[in-house]
A = this chain, B = another copy of it.
C-alpha cells in the first residue's frame, strides 16, 4: 500500500539496527528518523551539550541517505532541540530549547488566533500580581537595581507618538525582566510571552487622544513603588500595586487603536 520500500510491516522481523519501530507508519522517513533520534536522546538522558553521532554514523545507523538524515536534523533543529556545527569536533549536539525560540513557536500558533487585548489583560491581571507577591523579598540587589533603572528610564511623559511607543516597549521590558526572575518557570514564561505579544503589536495612537498625563504618571509611580515593595519583601503590597498597575495599563491600551502585526514572530537574533 503505502510503504513497501522498507520491510517494517511484519511484526516478527528482526530488523538490523532498527530495533524499535512499532508505530510510525504514516510519516515520512525524515520524520521517523527525527523521532528515533529523539528517543535515542531521551533513553540516554542526554543533556545540553552532549554530542550526537555524526552524519556518517547516522547514515549507517538508520540505513538512510545523507539527505534524509539532514532533513531529520533540520526538523530537530527547527524545534530547537539540537544545534550543529561544522569542523573537527563539530557535528550535532543536544541544545536546550531557548525561551526565545519557544515563544516564537508559540507565537506561530497564536498568529492564526487573533487574540484580543482584553483576552491578554484578563490573564495579566490574574498572573502578574501573583508573580510579584512571590517575588517580594526574593530578589537580589543587582536585579533590584536593574529594575529600578528601568523604572526611572523615562522621567517625563512622551512628547511624540514615537516616544510614547518607546516608553511602552520599555514598560513591557520591565515586566519581562520581572518574569525572568520568577521562581515559577511556567508563570514567568506566560507573563513574558504576553509582554512579547504586546510589544509586537503595532500601535496607532488615536490622533485626537492626547496622551493621558495623569495615567502615565501613575503608571510610572507604580513601577517605582513596586520595586520598593519588592525590596522590603512586602508581598501583599506588591500584589496590590501590580493589580492597580495592570488596570491602569489596560485603560491606556484600550484608549489606543491597536492592531496585531501580521507577521510571524521572528526570533530575535541575539541582539
Contact = CB atoms under 8 A, between A and B. Distances in A.
Contacts of A38: 264
Listed from nearest, the 8 A-B pairs whose CB atoms lie closest are: A102-B109, A6-B116, A75-B78, A78-B78, A5-B117, A97-B109, A105-B105, A119-B184
A224 interface: no
Interface stretch (A56-64, A66-74, A141-149): A66-74
Interface string A224-241: 000000000000000000
Nearest to A253: B5
Interface in A165-209: 183-187, 189-190, 194, 202
Interface string A1-35: 11111110110010000000001001100100011
Given A7-B259, A110-B185, A126-B126, 7 more contacts: A5-B116, A30-B74, A75-B75, A76-B78, A119-B185, A120-B186, A123-B187
A114 B187 contact: no
Contacts of A183: 119
